[in-house]
Chains A and B, each alone.
Chain A
Amino acid sequence: MMASKITEQEVKHVAELAKLEFPQAELEQFTTQLGSIIDMFEEIANEDTDGVEPMTNATDRVNAMREDKAVKASPEETAALLKNAPDAADGYIRVPVIIDESEDGE
Protein backbone atom coordinates (compact mmCIF):
# COMPACT_ATOMS: atom_id res chain seq x y z
CA MET A 1 0.00 0.00 0.00
CA MET A 2 1.32 3.45 -0.85
CA ALA A 3 1.18 5.90 1.99
CA SER A 4 -0.77 8.98 1.05
CA LYS A 5 -0.38 11.17 4.10
CA ILE A 6 3.33 11.33 4.66
CA THR A 7 6.33 11.20 2.35
CA GLU A 8 9.73 9.68 2.99
CA GLN A 9 11.15 13.22 3.14
CA GLU A 10 8.66 14.18 5.84
CA VAL A 11 9.45 11.04 7.83
CA LYS A 12 13.14 11.99 7.65
CA HIS A 13 12.30 15.48 8.89
CA VAL A 14 10.19 14.18 11.80
CA ALA A 15 12.98 11.73 12.69
CA GLU A 16 15.41 14.64 12.90
CA LEU A 17 13.07 16.51 15.23
CA ALA A 18 12.76 13.38 17.40
CA LYS A 19 16.52 12.69 17.41
CA LEU A 20 16.08 9.34 15.69
CA GLU A 21 17.63 7.89 12.55
CA PHE A 22 16.56 5.04 10.30
CA PRO A 23 18.54 3.06 7.75
CA GLN A 24 17.04 3.33 4.25
CA ALA A 25 15.16 0.00 4.32
CA GLU A 26 13.57 0.83 7.68
CA LEU A 27 12.75 4.32 6.50
CA GLU A 28 10.63 2.89 3.70
CA GLN A 29 8.83 0.53 6.07
CA PHE A 30 8.22 3.28 8.61
CA THR A 31 6.89 5.61 5.93
CA THR A 32 4.33 2.99 4.85
CA GLN A 33 3.31 2.16 8.41
CA LEU A 34 3.11 5.76 9.58
CA GLY A 35 1.15 6.67 6.45
CA SER A 36 -1.37 3.97 7.18
CA ILE A 37 -1.75 5.06 10.83
CA ILE A 38 -2.04 8.73 9.84
CA ASP A 39 -4.77 7.66 7.40
CA MET A 40 -6.58 6.27 10.44
CA PHE A 41 -6.01 9.56 12.26
CA GLU A 42 -7.90 11.22 9.42
CA GLU A 43 -11.08 9.48 10.61
CA ILE A 44 -11.62 12.27 13.13
CA ALA A 45 -11.12 15.02 10.55
CA ASN A 46 -14.80 15.20 9.66
CA GLU A 47 -16.02 15.30 13.26
CA ASP A 48 -17.74 18.63 13.92
CA THR A 49 -15.67 20.28 16.65
CA ASP A 50 -16.64 23.91 16.07
CA GLY A 51 -16.67 25.71 19.40
CA VAL A 52 -15.44 22.65 21.30
CA GLU A 53 -12.84 23.43 23.96
CA PRO A 54 -9.77 21.15 23.61
CA MET A 55 -9.36 18.76 26.55
CA THR A 56 -5.77 18.03 27.50
CA ASN A 57 -6.13 16.52 30.95
CA ALA A 58 -8.62 14.72 33.17
CA THR A 59 -7.48 15.89 36.60
CA ASP A 60 -9.82 17.44 39.18
CA ARG A 61 -6.99 19.64 40.46
CA VAL A 62 -6.64 23.25 39.32
CA ASN A 63 -3.30 24.02 40.86
CA ALA A 64 -1.02 22.54 43.47
CA MET A 65 1.34 24.69 45.49
CA ARG A 66 4.08 23.76 47.89
CA GLU A 67 6.69 25.60 49.87
CA ASP A 68 9.66 26.59 47.71
CA LYS A 69 12.27 24.75 49.70
CA ALA A 70 15.44 23.15 48.36
CA VAL A 71 16.06 19.55 49.36
CA LYS A 72 19.66 18.43 49.18
CA ALA A 73 20.53 14.95 47.96
CA SER A 74 22.73 12.89 50.27
CA PRO A 75 26.18 11.73 49.06
CA GLU A 76 24.73 8.18 48.95
CA GLU A 77 21.93 9.33 46.65
CA THR A 78 24.38 11.17 44.43
CA ALA A 79 26.58 8.07 44.23
CA ALA A 80 23.55 5.90 43.38
CA LEU A 81 22.52 8.36 40.66
CA LEU A 82 25.99 8.35 39.13
CA LYS A 83 25.98 4.56 39.07
CA ASN A 84 23.20 4.80 36.48
CA ALA A 85 25.22 7.09 34.23
CA PRO A 86 26.61 5.32 31.16
CA ASP A 87 30.02 6.88 31.84
CA ALA A 88 31.09 8.64 35.03
CA ALA A 89 34.38 9.70 36.64
CA ASP A 90 35.36 11.65 39.74
CA GLY A 91 31.74 12.40 40.67
CA TYR A 92 30.88 13.71 37.21
CA ILE A 93 29.05 12.30 34.19
CA ARG A 94 31.48 11.94 31.31
CA VAL A 95 30.39 12.72 27.73
CA PRO A 96 32.27 12.71 24.42
CA VAL A 97 34.01 15.91 23.42
CA ILE A 98 31.27 18.28 22.29
CA ILE A 99 33.39 21.19 21.10
CA ASP A 100 35.34 20.62 17.94
CA GLU A 101 38.64 22.36 18.66
CA SER A 102 39.48 22.83 15.00
CA GLU A 103 36.54 25.27 14.80
CA ASP A 104 37.52 27.04 17.98
CA GLY A 105 37.86 30.69 16.98
CA GLU A 106 40.08 31.86 19.82
Chain B
Amino acid sequence: MDFYQTDLSQLHDDLVNKKISATELTRETLDHIKGNDDQVKAFLTLDEEGAMKQAQAVDEAGISADQLLAGIPLAVKDNILTKGLRTTAASKMLENFTPVYDATVVEKLKQAGYVNVGKTNLDEFAMGSSTENSAFFTTHNPWDLTRVPGGSSGGSAAAVAAGDVLGALGTDTGGSIRMPASFNGIVGMKPTYGRVSRWGIIAFGSSFDQVGWLTRSVKDNAYLTALIAGNDEHDTTSSLKEVPDWAAQLNDSTSIKGLKIAVPKEYYDGLRADVKAVIKAALDHLESLGATVDEVSLPHTHDGVPAYYILASSEASSNLQRYDGIRYGYRAPEAKNLEEVYVKSRSQGFGDEVKRRIMLGTFSLSAGFYDAYFNKAAKVRRLISDDFTKVFKDYDLIVGATGASTAFKIGAEIDDPKTMYMNDVLTVPVNMAGLPAMSLPAGFSAEDGMPVGLQLIGKPFDEQTIYNTGYVFEQTTDFHQKTPQLGGQN
Protein backbone atom coordinates (compact mmCIF):
# COMPACT_ATOMS: atom_id res chain seq x y z
CA MET B 1 0.00 0.00 0.00
CA ASP B 2 1.00 3.61 -0.32
CA PHE B 3 0.14 6.27 2.24
CA TYR B 4 -1.37 8.86 -0.09
CA GLN B 5 -5.01 8.58 0.95
CA THR B 6 -4.62 8.25 4.69
CA ASP B 7 -3.15 9.85 7.79
CA LEU B 8 -2.00 8.86 11.27
CA SER B 9 -5.41 8.93 12.95
CA GLN B 10 -7.08 7.05 10.07
CA LEU B 11 -4.43 4.33 10.11
CA HIS B 12 -4.61 4.16 13.89
CA ASP B 13 -8.38 3.63 13.71
CA ASP B 14 -7.90 0.87 11.14
CA LEU B 15 -5.37 -0.83 13.42
CA VAL B 16 -7.52 -0.50 16.55
CA ASN B 17 -10.60 -1.77 14.68
CA LYS B 18 -8.53 -4.61 13.23
CA LYS B 19 -9.26 -3.70 9.65
CA ILE B 20 -5.56 -4.36 9.22
CA SER B 21 -2.95 -5.79 11.57
CA ALA B 22 0.38 -4.10 12.28
CA THR B 23 2.09 -7.07 10.64
CA GLU B 24 0.00 -6.75 7.47
CA LEU B 25 0.53 -2.99 7.38
CA THR B 26 4.29 -3.37 7.73
CA ARG B 27 4.42 -6.14 5.11
CA GLU B 28 2.50 -3.97 2.62
CA THR B 29 4.68 -0.97 3.43
CA LEU B 30 7.86 -2.95 2.81
CA ASP B 31 6.45 -4.33 -0.45
CA HIS B 32 5.55 -0.84 -1.63
CA ILE B 33 9.06 0.39 -0.86
CA LYS B 34 10.63 -2.57 -2.64
CA GLY B 35 8.45 -1.81 -5.64
CA ASN B 36 9.76 1.71 -6.13
CA ASP B 37 13.05 2.12 -4.30
CA ASP B 38 15.18 0.86 -7.18
CA GLN B 39 14.06 4.08 -8.91
CA VAL B 40 13.87 6.49 -5.97
CA LYS B 41 16.75 5.11 -3.86
CA ALA B 42 15.48 6.71 -0.67
CA PHE B 43 16.75 3.98 1.66
CA LEU B 44 20.31 3.15 2.64
CA THR B 45 19.10 0.27 4.82
CA LEU B 46 15.71 -1.40 4.62
CA ASP B 47 15.23 -3.26 7.89
CA GLU B 48 12.69 -5.90 6.85
CA GLU B 49 13.44 -8.33 9.63
CA GLY B 50 13.51 -5.72 12.39
CA ALA B 51 10.35 -4.02 11.12
CA MET B 52 8.39 -7.28 10.98
CA LYS B 53 9.55 -8.15 14.51
CA GLN B 54 8.41 -4.77 15.83
CA ALA B 55 5.06 -5.15 14.09
CA GLN B 56 4.58 -8.66 15.50
CA ALA B 57 5.33 -7.38 19.00
CA VAL B 58 2.70 -4.66 18.56
CA ASP B 59 0.12 -7.17 17.33
CA GLU B 60 0.86 -9.49 20.24
CA ALA B 61 0.55 -6.68 22.80
CA GLY B 62 -2.60 -5.29 21.18
CA ILE B 63 -3.23 -1.64 20.28
CA SER B 64 -5.32 0.53 22.56
CA ALA B 65 -7.05 3.73 21.48
CA ASP B 66 -4.53 5.99 23.22
CA GLN B 67 -1.51 4.54 21.41
CA LEU B 68 -1.68 6.61 18.25
CA LEU B 69 1.74 5.53 17.03
CA ALA B 70 1.60 1.81 17.79
CA GLY B 71 2.21 -0.25 14.66
CA ILE B 72 2.73 2.78 12.39
CA PRO B 73 5.61 2.31 9.92
CA LEU B 74 8.00 5.29 9.78
CA ALA B 75 11.55 5.89 8.56
CA VAL B 76 14.65 7.41 10.16
CA LYS B 77 17.39 9.49 8.57
CA ASP B 78 20.67 7.63 8.68
CA ASN B 79 22.50 10.17 10.85
CA ILE B 80 20.24 9.25 13.78
CA LEU B 81 21.50 6.38 15.93
CA THR B 82 19.45 3.18 16.01
CA LYS B 83 20.72 0.55 18.43
CA GLY B 84 21.82 -2.60 16.62
CA LEU B 85 20.90 -1.17 13.19
CA ARG B 86 23.74 0.08 10.97
CA THR B 87 23.97 3.90 10.96
CA THR B 88 26.31 5.39 8.36
CA ALA B 89 25.62 9.15 8.00
CA ALA B 90 26.02 8.20 4.30
CA SER B 91 29.77 8.12 4.86
CA LYS B 92 32.37 5.52 4.02
CA MET B 93 33.77 6.47 7.43
CA LEU B 94 30.82 4.79 9.17
CA GLU B 95 29.92 2.19 6.54
CA ASN B 96 30.14 -0.63 9.10
CA PHE B 97 29.10 1.26 12.22
CA THR B 98 26.44 -0.28 14.47
CA PRO B 99 25.25 2.00 17.30
CA VAL B 100 25.24 0.63 20.82
CA TYR B 101 22.43 2.93 21.94
CA ASP B 102 19.35 4.65 20.51
CA ALA B 103 19.04 8.39 19.95
CA THR B 104 16.59 9.89 22.44
CA VAL B 105 14.11 10.56 19.63
CA VAL B 106 14.28 6.90 18.56
CA GLU B 107 13.88 5.70 22.13
CA LYS B 108 10.71 7.81 22.43
CA LEU B 109 9.36 6.39 19.18
CA LYS B 110 10.10 2.86 20.33
CA GLN B 111 8.21 3.46 23.56
CA ALA B 112 5.28 4.68 21.47
CA GLY B 113 5.37 1.41 19.51
CA TYR B 114 6.39 2.70 16.07
CA VAL B 115 7.75 0.40 13.39
CA ASN B 116 11.04 1.54 11.87
CA VAL B 117 11.18 0.31 8.27
CA GLY B 118 14.68 1.60 7.64
CA LYS B 119 17.30 4.29 7.37
CA THR B 120 17.12 6.97 4.71
CA ASN B 121 19.81 8.43 2.49
CA LEU B 122 21.38 11.85 3.04
CA ASP B 123 24.32 13.97 2.02
CA GLU B 124 27.38 12.65 3.86
CA PHE B 125 27.22 13.84 7.48
CA ALA B 126 24.19 15.96 6.43
CA MET B 127 26.45 18.30 4.45
CA GLY B 128 24.73 19.18 1.22
CA SER B 129 21.54 20.17 -0.52
CA SER B 130 20.91 17.31 -2.95
CA THR B 131 21.98 13.87 -1.51
CA GLU B 132 24.60 13.84 -4.26
CA ASN B 133 27.20 13.95 -1.49
CA SER B 134 26.10 10.55 -0.17
CA ALA B 135 29.05 8.16 -0.33
CA PHE B 136 26.72 5.42 -1.58
CA PHE B 137 24.21 6.78 -4.13
CA THR B 138 22.03 9.73 -5.03
CA THR B 139 18.34 9.74 -4.16
CA HIS B 140 15.96 10.68 -6.98
CA ASN B 141 13.03 13.06 -6.71
CA PRO B 142 9.79 11.02 -7.09
CA TRP B 143 8.18 13.92 -9.01
CA ASP B 144 10.90 13.76 -11.66
CA LEU B 145 13.56 11.09 -11.33
CA THR B 146 16.11 13.20 -13.20
CA ARG B 147 16.01 15.79 -10.41
CA VAL B 148 17.48 15.90 -6.90
CA PRO B 149 15.24 15.47 -3.84
CA GLY B 150 17.06 18.30 -2.08
CA GLY B 151 19.13 17.71 1.00
CA SER B 152 20.40 16.80 3.25
CA SER B 153 17.27 14.87 4.41
CA GLY B 154 16.60 13.94 0.77
CA GLY B 155 16.01 10.25 1.42
CA SER B 156 13.42 10.99 4.11
CA ALA B 157 11.66 13.53 1.86
CA ALA B 158 11.63 11.23 -1.17
CA ALA B 159 10.33 8.32 0.94
CA VAL B 160 7.39 10.41 2.14
CA ALA B 161 6.72 11.85 -1.33
CA ALA B 162 6.83 8.34 -2.85
CA GLY B 163 4.13 7.20 -0.42
CA ASP B 164 6.54 4.83 1.36
CA VAL B 165 5.72 6.12 4.84
CA LEU B 166 3.55 8.80 6.48
CA GLY B 167 6.54 10.42 8.10
CA ALA B 168 10.31 10.23 8.25
CA LEU B 169 12.75 11.76 10.70
CA GLY B 170 15.16 14.37 9.39
CA THR B 171 17.69 16.81 10.76
CA ASP B 172 18.02 20.49 9.88
CA THR B 173 21.28 22.37 10.36
CA GLY B 174 20.82 24.97 7.62
CA GLY B 175 17.60 23.91 5.88
CA SER B 176 18.04 20.15 5.59
CA ILE B 177 14.41 19.39 6.50
CA ARG B 178 12.64 22.38 4.92
CA MET B 179 14.43 22.43 1.58
CA PRO B 180 13.80 18.77 0.68
CA ALA B 181 10.21 19.17 1.93
CA SER B 182 9.82 22.05 -0.51
CA PHE B 183 11.42 20.10 -3.39
CA ASN B 184 9.14 17.09 -2.76
CA GLY B 185 5.80 18.80 -2.13
CA ILE B 186 5.48 17.68 1.49
CA VAL B 187 5.52 19.17 5.01
CA GLY B 188 8.82 19.61 6.84
CA MET B 189 9.23 21.18 10.28
CA LYS B 190 12.39 22.32 12.00
CA PRO B 191 11.40 22.92 15.62
CA THR B 192 12.91 25.65 17.80
CA TYR B 193 16.55 24.98 18.71
CA GLY B 194 16.42 23.11 22.02
CA ARG B 195 12.90 21.77 21.51
CA VAL B 196 14.11 18.28 20.56
CA SER B 197 17.03 16.42 22.11
CA ARG B 198 20.11 16.02 19.90
CA TRP B 199 21.38 13.03 21.90
CA GLY B 200 22.28 10.29 19.44
CA ILE B 201 22.29 12.56 16.40
CA ILE B 202 25.61 12.37 14.56
CA ALA B 203 26.86 15.89 15.26
CA PHE B 204 27.47 18.37 12.43
CA GLY B 205 26.95 21.94 13.70
CA SER B 206 25.94 21.57 17.31
CA SER B 207 24.60 25.10 17.78
CA PHE B 208 22.40 24.70 14.67
CA ASP B 209 21.37 21.01 14.47
CA GLN B 210 17.77 20.17 15.24
CA VAL B 211 15.69 17.03 14.64
CA GLY B 212 12.27 17.16 13.02
CA TRP B 213 9.77 15.39 10.77
CA LEU B 214 8.98 15.24 7.10
CA THR B 215 5.33 14.27 6.72
CA ARG B 216 2.42 14.26 4.32
CA SER B 217 0.17 16.39 6.54
CA VAL B 218 0.51 19.28 8.99
CA LYS B 219 -1.47 17.55 11.73
CA ASP B 220 0.63 14.38 11.55
CA ASN B 221 3.69 16.58 11.79
CA ALA B 222 2.37 18.37 14.88
CA TYR B 223 1.58 15.07 16.56
CA LEU B 224 4.91 13.44 15.73
CA THR B 225 6.98 16.48 16.70
CA ALA B 226 5.33 16.72 20.12
CA LEU B 227 6.13 13.06 20.64
CA ILE B 228 9.89 13.51 20.19
CA ALA B 229 10.16 16.93 21.91
CA GLY B 230 11.03 17.80 25.49
CA ASN B 231 13.95 18.09 27.87
CA ASP B 232 16.55 15.34 27.96
CA GLU B 233 19.29 15.12 30.56
CA HIS B 234 21.63 13.84 27.85
CA ASP B 235 21.43 17.12 25.89
CA THR B 236 22.22 20.17 27.99
CA THR B 237 20.86 22.49 25.28
CA SER B 238 17.43 20.84 25.31
CA SER B 239 14.86 23.22 26.72
CA LEU B 240 12.99 22.78 29.99
CA LYS B 241 9.88 24.36 28.44
CA GLU B 242 6.71 22.33 28.45
CA VAL B 243 5.72 20.80 25.12
CA PRO B 244 2.17 21.78 24.13
CA ASP B 245 -0.21 19.36 22.41
CA TRP B 246 -0.04 21.23 19.10
CA ALA B 247 -2.17 18.75 17.17
CA ALA B 248 -5.05 19.12 19.63
CA GLN B 249 -5.47 22.73 18.46
CA LEU B 250 -5.88 21.75 14.82
CA ASN B 251 -9.56 21.32 13.96
CA ASP B 252 -12.47 22.91 12.13
CA SER B 253 -12.42 25.98 14.36
CA THR B 254 -8.71 26.73 13.81
CA SER B 255 -8.50 30.23 12.38
CA ILE B 256 -5.87 32.74 11.34
CA LYS B 257 -8.23 35.74 11.33
CA GLY B 258 -6.30 38.77 12.51
CA LEU B 259 -2.92 36.97 12.32
CA LYS B 260 -0.20 39.50 11.55
CA ILE B 261 2.07 38.13 8.84
CA ALA B 262 5.33 39.77 7.79
CA VAL B 263 6.79 39.02 4.37
CA PRO B 264 10.48 39.94 4.17
CA LYS B 265 11.20 41.37 0.75
CA GLU B 266 14.44 39.38 0.80
CA TYR B 267 12.30 36.20 0.84
CA TYR B 268 10.27 37.32 -2.14
CA ASP B 269 12.04 39.76 -4.47
CA GLY B 270 14.83 37.49 -5.70
CA LEU B 271 12.69 34.42 -6.39
CA ARG B 272 12.61 32.80 -9.81
CA ALA B 273 9.49 34.05 -11.62
CA ASP B 274 7.59 30.74 -11.53
CA VAL B 275 8.30 30.32 -7.79
CA LYS B 276 7.35 33.93 -7.15
CA ALA B 277 3.97 33.43 -8.82
CA VAL B 278 3.20 30.49 -6.53
CA ILE B 279 4.30 32.37 -3.40
CA LYS B 280 2.28 35.43 -4.44
CA ALA B 281 -0.85 33.30 -4.79
CA ALA B 282 -0.16 31.67 -1.40
CA LEU B 283 0.19 35.06 0.30
CA ASP B 284 -3.05 36.24 -1.32
CA HIS B 285 -4.70 33.10 -0.03
CA LEU B 286 -3.48 33.71 3.53
CA GLU B 287 -4.88 37.24 3.28
CA SER B 288 -8.24 35.88 2.09
CA LEU B 289 -8.28 33.66 5.19
CA GLY B 290 -8.23 36.78 7.37
CA ALA B 291 -4.52 37.38 8.01
CA THR B 292 -2.91 40.75 7.40
CA VAL B 293 0.15 40.61 5.17
CA ASP B 294 2.78 43.37 5.26
CA GLU B 295 6.14 43.68 3.58
CA VAL B 296 9.09 44.02 5.95
CA SER B 297 12.86 43.76 5.66
CA LEU B 298 15.38 41.38 7.24
CA PRO B 299 18.34 43.46 6.05
CA HIS B 300 21.10 40.96 6.92
CA THR B 301 19.57 38.03 5.04
CA HIS B 302 22.30 38.15 2.35
CA ASP B 303 24.94 37.69 5.07
CA GLY B 304 23.33 34.40 6.09
CA VAL B 305 25.07 32.04 3.67
CA PRO B 306 28.66 33.27 4.20
CA ALA B 307 28.24 33.60 7.99
CA TYR B 308 26.52 30.22 8.24
CA TYR B 309 29.16 28.40 6.19
CA ILE B 310 31.91 29.86 8.37
CA LEU B 311 30.22 28.96 11.66
CA ALA B 312 28.72 25.58 10.71
CA SER B 313 31.98 24.47 9.05
CA SER B 314 33.92 25.54 12.13
CA GLU B 315 31.66 23.49 14.37
CA ALA B 316 31.87 20.59 11.91
CA SER B 317 35.67 20.67 11.85
CA SER B 318 35.63 20.31 15.62
CA ASN B 319 32.85 17.68 15.75
CA LEU B 320 34.49 15.53 13.07
CA GLN B 321 37.83 15.36 14.89
CA ARG B 322 36.44 12.29 16.61
CA TYR B 323 36.83 10.25 13.41
CA ASP B 324 40.39 9.19 14.00
CA GLY B 325 40.40 5.59 12.78
CA ILE B 326 41.05 4.23 16.27
CA ARG B 327 37.91 3.43 18.23
CA TYR B 328 35.31 3.05 15.49
CA GLY B 329 34.82 3.87 11.86
CA TYR B 330 37.12 3.42 8.89
CA ARG B 331 40.83 2.76 9.35
CA ALA B 332 43.18 2.91 6.39
CA PRO B 333 44.59 -0.64 6.12
CA GLU B 334 48.08 0.45 5.13
CA ALA B 335 48.60 2.95 7.99
CA LYS B 336 51.90 2.16 9.71
CA ASN B 337 51.96 4.58 12.63
CA LEU B 338 49.63 6.81 14.64
CA GLU B 339 49.91 9.86 12.38
CA GLU B 340 49.17 7.72 9.33
CA VAL B 341 46.17 6.15 11.07
CA TYR B 342 44.73 9.63 11.56
CA VAL B 343 45.62 11.20 8.24
CA LYS B 344 45.08 8.28 5.87
CA SER B 345 41.89 7.07 7.58
CA ARG B 346 40.34 10.56 7.44
CA SER B 347 41.54 11.29 3.91
CA GLN B 348 40.16 7.99 2.58
CA GLY B 349 37.06 7.84 4.80
CA PHE B 350 35.63 11.32 4.19
CA GLY B 351 34.16 12.48 0.88
CA ASP B 352 35.07 15.74 -0.88
CA GLU B 353 32.31 17.94 0.56
CA VAL B 354 33.05 16.84 4.12
CA LYS B 355 36.74 17.55 3.56
CA ARG B 356 35.87 20.98 2.15
CA ARG B 357 33.84 21.85 5.25
CA ILE B 358 36.55 20.57 7.59
CA MET B 359 39.10 22.65 5.69
CA LEU B 360 36.90 25.78 5.70
CA GLY B 361 36.21 25.38 9.41
CA THR B 362 39.83 24.69 10.33
CA PHE B 363 40.86 27.73 8.27
CA SER B 364 38.23 29.99 9.88
CA LEU B 365 39.35 28.95 13.36
CA SER B 366 43.10 29.04 12.71
CA ALA B 367 45.53 31.55 14.17
CA GLY B 368 45.53 34.77 12.18
CA PHE B 369 42.11 34.18 10.63
CA TYR B 370 39.89 33.64 13.69
CA ASP B 371 38.91 37.29 14.13
CA ALA B 372 38.29 37.98 10.46
CA TYR B 373 36.20 34.87 9.88
CA PHE B 374 34.83 32.96 12.89
CA ASN B 375 34.41 35.89 15.23
CA LYS B 376 33.11 38.20 12.51
CA ALA B 377 30.55 35.57 11.46
CA ALA B 378 29.45 35.11 15.09
CA LYS B 379 28.80 38.86 15.28
CA VAL B 380 26.87 38.77 12.02
CA ARG B 381 24.86 35.88 13.47
CA ARG B 382 23.76 38.27 16.22
CA LEU B 383 22.69 40.87 13.62
CA ILE B 384 20.65 38.26 11.74
CA SER B 385 19.00 37.11 14.96
CA ASP B 386 18.24 40.71 15.95
CA ASP B 387 16.57 41.29 12.55
CA PHE B 388 14.05 38.57 13.40
CA THR B 389 13.52 39.84 16.97
CA LYS B 390 12.66 43.30 15.65
CA VAL B 391 10.09 42.01 13.17
CA PHE B 392 8.52 39.71 15.78
CA LYS B 393 7.80 42.75 17.98
CA ASP B 394 5.07 43.69 15.53
CA TYR B 395 4.20 40.41 13.79
CA ASP B 396 3.09 36.89 14.69
CA LEU B 397 4.64 35.02 11.79
CA ILE B 398 7.17 35.54 9.01
CA VAL B 399 6.26 33.99 5.67
CA GLY B 400 8.18 33.57 2.41
CA ALA B 401 9.54 30.99 0.04
CA THR B 402 11.60 28.03 1.29
CA GLY B 403 13.81 28.07 -1.80
CA ALA B 404 14.28 30.53 -4.63
CA SER B 405 13.91 27.73 -7.19
CA THR B 406 12.46 24.24 -7.54
CA ALA B 407 14.38 20.93 -7.45
CA PHE B 408 17.30 21.12 -9.86
CA LYS B 409 18.63 18.41 -12.16
CA ILE B 410 20.96 15.77 -10.78
CA GLY B 411 24.52 16.79 -11.64
CA ALA B 412 23.66 20.42 -12.38
CA GLU B 413 25.41 21.99 -9.38
CA ILE B 414 27.58 19.32 -7.83
CA ASP B 415 30.84 20.65 -9.29
CA ASP B 416 30.20 24.17 -8.08
CA PRO B 417 30.07 24.24 -4.25
CA LYS B 418 29.43 27.98 -4.05
CA THR B 419 26.30 27.78 -6.23
CA MET B 420 25.17 24.77 -4.20
CA TYR B 421 25.59 26.74 -0.96
CA MET B 422 23.43 29.58 -2.31
CA ASN B 423 20.41 27.22 -2.36
CA ASP B 424 20.31 27.70 1.41
CA VAL B 425 19.93 31.48 1.36
CA LEU B 426 16.33 31.44 2.64
CA THR B 427 16.76 28.63 5.18
CA VAL B 428 20.04 29.28 7.05
CA PRO B 429 19.00 32.53 8.78
CA VAL B 430 16.38 30.55 10.73
CA ASN B 431 19.05 28.19 12.08
CA MET B 432 21.31 31.14 12.93
CA ALA B 433 18.54 32.49 15.17
CA GLY B 434 17.36 29.07 16.42
CA LEU B 435 13.77 29.72 15.32
CA PRO B 436 11.07 27.17 14.43
CA ALA B 437 10.13 27.04 10.74
CA MET B 438 8.09 24.81 8.47
CA SER B 439 7.88 24.31 4.73
CA LEU B 440 4.55 23.19 3.30
CA PRO B 441 3.20 22.62 -0.21
CA ALA B 442 2.21 25.94 -1.79
CA GLY B 443 1.64 24.84 -5.37
CA PHE B 444 3.54 23.89 -8.49
CA SER B 445 5.80 25.75 -10.87
CA ALA B 446 4.12 26.67 -14.15
CA GLU B 447 7.52 26.25 -15.76
CA ASP B 448 8.69 22.77 -14.73
CA GLY B 449 5.69 21.37 -12.85
CA MET B 450 7.76 20.80 -9.70
CA PRO B 451 6.45 21.50 -6.17
CA VAL B 452 7.08 24.86 -4.48
CA GLY B 453 7.30 25.25 -0.70
CA LEU B 454 5.98 28.04 1.49
CA GLN B 455 8.11 28.74 4.56
CA LEU B 456 6.45 29.77 7.83
CA ILE B 457 8.85 31.12 10.46
CA GLY B 458 7.71 31.56 14.06
CA LYS B 459 8.88 33.10 17.30
CA PRO B 460 11.04 30.89 19.54
CA PHE B 461 8.92 28.04 20.94
CA ASP B 462 5.80 29.24 19.10
CA GLU B 463 5.39 26.17 16.90
CA GLN B 464 1.64 26.45 17.50
CA THR B 465 1.18 29.54 15.30
CA ILE B 466 3.12 27.81 12.52
CA TYR B 467 1.02 24.65 12.77
CA ASN B 468 -2.27 26.61 12.95
CA THR B 469 -1.40 28.62 9.86
CA GLY B 470 -0.10 25.60 7.98
CA TYR B 471 -3.18 23.60 8.89
CA VAL B 472 -5.64 26.25 7.73
CA PHE B 473 -3.67 26.76 4.52
CA GLU B 474 -3.57 23.02 3.87
CA GLN B 475 -7.26 22.47 4.60
CA THR B 476 -8.26 25.20 2.14
CA THR B 477 -5.95 24.14 -0.71
CA ASP B 478 -5.44 20.85 -2.53
CA PHE B 479 -1.73 20.93 -3.34
CA HIS B 480 -0.95 18.35 -0.67
CA GLN B 481 -3.33 15.89 -2.34
CA LYS B 482 -1.36 15.81 -5.57
CA THR B 483 1.00 12.86 -5.78
CA PRO B 484 3.88 12.00 -8.07
CA GLN B 485 3.34 9.38 -10.78
CA LEU B 486 6.44 7.26 -10.42
CA GLY B 487 7.83 6.04 -13.69
CA GLY B 488 5.85 8.54 -15.74
CA GLN B 489 5.76 12.27 -16.30
CA ASN B 490 3.60 14.44 -14.10
Contacts and interface: CB of A to CB of B under 8 A. Distances in A.
Binding between chains A and B: yes
Interface of A: 6, 10-11, 14-15, 17-22, 30, 33-34, 36-38, 40-45, 47, 49, 52-61, 63-64, 66, 77, 80-81, 83-87, 93, 95-98, 100
A33 B303 CA distance: 20
A54 B335 contact: no
Interface string B387-427: 00000000000000000000000000000011001000000
A41 B194 contact: no
Contact of A41 (B306, B335, B356, B417): B306
Given A34-B356, A37-B360, A54 B207 contact: no
B97 interface: yes
Contacts of A17: 362, 366
A49 to B, nearest CB: 4
Interface range, B side: 35 or more
Given A14-B363, A60-B241, 11 more contacts: A14-B366, A19-B343, A20-B343, A34-B359, A37-B309, A37-B417, A40-B305, A41-B373, A47-B379, A64-B236, A84-B329
A72 to B, nearest CB: 14
Given A14-B366, A45-B376, A53 B360 contact: no
B329 A86 contact: yes
A20 to B, nearest CB: 5
Contacts of B421: 37, 40
A58 B321 CA distance: 23
Contacts of B96: 84
B229 interface: no
Contacts of B379: 47, 49, 52-55
A57 B237 contact: yes
Nearest to B314: A56
Contact of B237 (A14, A18, A59, A85): A59
Interface of B: 96-98, 100, 193-194, 207-208, 233, 236-241, 300, 302-303, 305-307, 309-311, 317, 321, 324-331, 335-338, 340-344, 346-347, 350, 355-356, 358-360, 362-364, 366, 372-373, 375-383, 385, 417-418, 421, 431-434, 460-461
Given A19-B342, A20-B346, A57-B237, A49 B366 contact: no
Given A49-B376, A61-B236, A40 B306 contact: yes
Q: Which 4 A-B pairs have the closest CB atoms?
A: A58-B434, A54-B378, A86-B331, A64-B236
Contacts of B239: 59-61
Interface of B is mostly: helix
Given A49-B379, A60-B241, A96 B341 contact: yes
A97 B340 CA distance: 11
A55 B385 contact: yes
A58 to B, nearest CB: 3
A104 to B, nearest CB: 14
Given A40-B306, A96-B336, A55 B98 contact: no
A18 B434 CA distance: 28
Given A95-B338, A95-B341, A98-B337, A40 B418 contact: yes
Interface centre among A6, A61, A77, A87 (most CB of B within 10 A): A61
A87 B418 contact: no
A81 B326 contact: no
A29 to B, nearest CB: 9
19 contacts: A19-B346, A37-B421, A38-B363, A44-B306, A45-B376, A49-B376, A56-B381, A58-B431, A58-B432, A61-B194, A64-B236, A66-B233, A80-B98, A84-B329, A85-B326, A86-B326, A86-B330, A96-B335, A97-B337
